[in-house]
Amino acid sequence: MSKFWGIGVGPGDSDLLTIKAVKTIRQLDILYTPQAHKDGVSVAETIAQPYLPTDLTIKRRHFPMSGDWVTKIHSWQAISQEVIQDVKAGQQVGFLTLGDPSVYSTYSYIMQLIEDEVPVQTIAGISSYSQIAASVSLPLVLDDERLTVVPATAPVDQVKAAIDHNDNVVIMKISANFQQIYGLLAARNLLARCVLVSKASMADQKVQQLADLTPDAAIPYFSTLILKKHSLRETMAHEIV
């Protein structure tokens, strides 16, 4: 049966694709990928490149990244109709997405527009923050600790609440509002508790302690911050006491 497949390709390293993702890619007839700036190949497509069949039809489409929801919805609707036509024509159709398809992914909007028309299956991928935690050997949560994932583009009150009411916080898209969030963390004496990772798992990955940066530091687009209020040693010491 022909389907539409949403495929997570992980954060950057081609070796981090799951076996299931690779198997799915290799059975596709058509692959939709975001169109990079200046008609270049997107990051997601570059990650999946080692596994793309030579006879695969690749359709690069523009997905607006602006805050104009009308423009974005019109784009998603047009692409969704094209996907529906391809699947109904008997093609196995895939869509690549960075990280995991269920985490801040355009795929979710496309999926909702077509799931009543054609079969859909989602293939999970490794999220950027899971890989970041692994790369620096940082436990995201322990015992009864709380974890919140929030985008830096969220209203500042929501970011404040995430920081104030959780033991561990992942702040994605940090470059979009770095200076303000830096100020929130500095005011709470939490800079030393934060690690900032840019281009996770890519060849030029960079790991930095937030305390080593200034508020006006230039932060790459693909950057994620993890705040861990309590260290493993502190947690263990508390339990022993």
Q: What pLDDT does residue 116 have?
A: 96
Q: What pLDDT does residue 233 have?
A: 54
Q: What pLDDT does residue 39 have?
A: 64
Both 97 and 148 in a single domain?
A: no
Helix 106-114 to helix 69-88 angle, to the nearest 10 degrees? 60
- Count of structural domains within the chain: 2
Count the residues in the chain: 241
CA 6 to the chain's CA centroid: 14
Q: What pLDDT does residue 40 have?
A: 74
CATH number at residue 20: 3.40.1010.10
Both 133 and 172 in a single domain?
A: yes
Both 101 and 159 in a single domain?
A: no
Q: How far is CA 11 from CA 24, 48, 112, 229, 235, in A?
A: 18, 11, 24, 24, 29
Predicted TM-score (pTM) of this structure: 0.87
Block means of pLDDT (10 residues each) for the chain, 241 residues, are 96 97 98 79 94 96 82 92 97 96 94 96 96 92 92 95 96 95 97 94 93 95 94 50 41
H helix intervals, the chain: 19-25, 43-48, 69-88, 106-114, 128-135, 156-164, 178-187, 232-240
Both 24 and 137 in a single domain?
A: no
Domain around 226: 129-240
CATH number at residue 236: 3.30.950.10
- The domain boundary residue, chosen from 86, 101, 126: 126
- The domain boundary residue, chosen from 126, 143, 175: 126
Both 42 and 145 in a single domain?
A: no
- The domain boundary residue, chosen from 99, 126, 153: 126
Both 100 and 135 in a single domain?
A: no
Q: What pLDDT does residue 236 have?
A: 41
